[in-house]
Structure 1
Amino acid sequence: MGKQYPAISADIEAFIEQQHLFFVGTAAADGRVNISPKGQDTLRVLDANRVAWLNLTGSGNETAAHLLEVNRITLMWCAFEGQPNILRLYGTATVYHPRDAEWAELLPLFPPLPGSRQIVMVTVDLVQTSCGMAVPFFDYRAERDELNDSMEKRGPEQVAQYWHNRNARSLDGKPTGI
């Protein structure tokens, strides 16, 4: 059965660290709701009420646009192996770009990954677990290399141009802060 907590406990942090995939949900006041899968070694639990994740270059930038307008966010993990569990962290978020002072402070928390676009700092105000008994088993094989390879080939200048061309506005035409 589902339980609610005001903060991330050691058990919940351990669960997060064992997962290979999480999902991010955001929405602006109007327009499309976005749910985005995230992988690689890009998330850190900073304390009982804060997590940060390194947002990599993607085909869109909906999360950043939504957070500029309405800074609410939900992160979700599902146990695809072991005991069934679904975990959601609810809160608010701030997006930091390479131009921001906070970027330099937070970036060392993560491995160097090409195409690192933003760091999203989430302040968690509710932690919720639920049963997850209907989530199927999936076997993790490996991380995909395609995104890192693509960003490496492009290099910083072409990545920045890609951000300008493809990541500066959301699907609904909202600015992303790029």
Structure 2
Amino acid sequence: MGKFSDSIQPAHQAFIEHQKMFFVASAPLSGEGHVNLSPKGMDTFRVMSPSRVAYLDITGSGNETSAHLLENGRVTFMFCAFDGPPNILRLYGIGRTVLPHDAEWGELSALFALPLATRQIIVAEIHKVQTSCGFSVPLYEYTGERDHADKWAEKKGADGLEAYRKEKNRVSLDGLPTALSFPLDQ
């Protein structure tokens, strides 16, 4: 049976910091749109307070989370124990996208090592935390991070990444605008 809390407790934070991977889920308000569920890796998640988290978002083939947050803010993060005692932890919150030109960028980006492929930072105010058993989650051994994103970004270069984001990351799969749809030069 799941246990609920209104905030991130110290034991929750310790569990989160131990995990090498997490998942982000979001959805548009319309029942006709697509639910998005994305795995995230690298050292990109931070607990900033018992009710606030942030993750560094790397350029990818889509930008669904940003579009959904712009439309309705709803976001869920999930962490699973792939080693040690079984556990699943979910963070439910309202999020938003922070871009490099936003006032908060300096403070937030200082929390991370910024790879070339950095796209944005997602910040969420957490209003509910749930833990559950995770008994059926298999055990996996962590062997390291992939370097594909870094190599891809290096090959594209800063200008190529900007062009890619303009082409692929300004609207969602369902045609919703993302935070990147509103650049400073427009």
Runs of 4+ more than 4 Å apart: none
Length-normalised TM-score, structure 1: 0.98
SS of corresponding position for 1:98: coil
Aligned twin of 2:2: 2
1 CA distance for matches of 2:39 and 2:114? Answer: 20
**Structure 1: gaps spanning 5 or more residues:** none
Q: CA deviation at 1:154?
A: 1.4
**Which ranges in structure 2 are unaligned for 5 or more consecutive residues?**
181-186
Q: Which residue matches 1:109?
A: 111
1:157 deviates by: 1.0
Alpha-carbon distance in 2 for matches of 1:168, 1:90 = 25
Q: What SS does structure 2 have at the residue aligned with 1:148? A: helix
Alignment deviations for residues 39-60 of structure 1 (CA, whole Å, 9 cap, x no partner): 0010110011111000000111
Partner of 1:129: 131
Q: Does 1:160 align with 2:138?
A: no
- 1:20 alignment partner, SS class: coil
1:134-172 superposed Cα distances (whole Å, 9 cap, x missing partner): 111111111000001111221111101000011111111
| Structure 1 residues 34-73: aligned runs within 5 Å | 34-73=36-75
For residues 27 and 147 of structure 2, what CA distance do their matches in structure 1 show? 29
**What is the CA–CA distance in structure 2 between the aligned matches of 1:150 and 1:92, rounded to whole Å?**
31
CA distance in structure 2 between the partners assigned to 1:153 and 1:28 by the alignment: 33
Distance 2:8 2:176 in 1: 32
Cα-Cα RMSD? 0.8
Matches within 5 A, 1:20-99: 20-30=20-30, 31-99=33-101
Aligned to 2:183: none
**Percent identity between the aligned chains?**
51
* 1:94 Cα deviation after fit: 1.2
Amino acid in the other structure paired with 1:71: G
Give the distance between the partners of 1:154 and 1:74, measured in 2 at CA.
31
1:112 deviates by 2.1
- Paired with 1:94 and 1:173, the residues of 2 have a C-alpha distance of 18
Normalising to structure 2: TM-score of the pair?
A: 0.94
